[in-house]
């Protein structure tokens, strides 16, 4: 029986919540007129759509790298926004929080998945040796 990946599950949860934050940050940036409207909507909704679609491919080659890239893009945008509006500091705080959540999800998920594989292999070896006796 194949077990589901905890890394994928935790990463999916983090990205789903982050997509909401990206959307609400887009609304805040638009309402405060941080940049021109079409740019805000194009970038904000584009990133929110990526964040909500990325969990569908987590576990495939390069998908976790894409998640890290999304985190770095959001960090860069928040730093860039600081130079134009004080709202950028709020963006920076949320960006750092979600980098921490994403990093935690990747670390804990991968560690637990590895431990589960080792335990499953050990149990399989134990079962095989009991059948031989």
Averaged pLDDT in 10-residue chunks for the chain of 133 residues: 84 96 95 92 96 94 95 96 91 96 96 92 77 63
Q: Would you state the pLDDT for residue 123?
A: 86
Q: Do 41 and 30 contact (CB within 8 A), yes or no?
A: yes
Residue 56 Cα distances to 1, 41, 48, 53, 60, angstroms: 22, 23, 14, 6, 9
Closest CA to 67 of 112, 109, 107, 106: 106
Q: Would you state the pLDDT for residue 130?
A: 65
Which residue shows structure tokens 């926004």? 81
Q: Residue 33: phi, psi to the nearest 5?
A: 55, 50
Q: Would you state the pLDDT for residue 66?
A: 96
Q: Do 87 and 79 contact (CB within 8 A), yes or no?
A: no
How far apart (Å, rounded) are the C-alpha atoms in residues 3 and 99? 26
Closest CA to 5 of 57, 46, 40: 57
Q: Would you state the pLDDT for residue 2?
A: 66
Q: Would you state the pLDDT for residue 129?
A: 66
How far apart (Å, rounded) are the C-alpha atoms in residues 84 and 33? 10
């Amino acid at each position: 029986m194949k077990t589901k990946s905890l890394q994928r599950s935790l990463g999916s949860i983090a990205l789903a919540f982050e997509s909401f934050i990206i959307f609400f940050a887009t609304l805040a940036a638009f309402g405060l007129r941080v940049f021109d409207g079409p740019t805000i909507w194009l970038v904000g909704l584009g990133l929110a759509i990526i964040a909500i679609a990325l969990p569908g491919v987590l576990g495939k080659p390069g998908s976790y790298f894409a998640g890290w890239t999304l985190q770095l893009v959001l960090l860069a945008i928040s730093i860039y926004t600081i130079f134009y509006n004080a709202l950028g500091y709020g963006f920076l705080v949320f960006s750092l929080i979600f980098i921490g959540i994403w990093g935690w999800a990747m670390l804990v998920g991968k560690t637990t998945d590895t431990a589960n594989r080792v335990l499953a292999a050990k149990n399989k070896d134990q079962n095989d040796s009991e059948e031989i006796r």
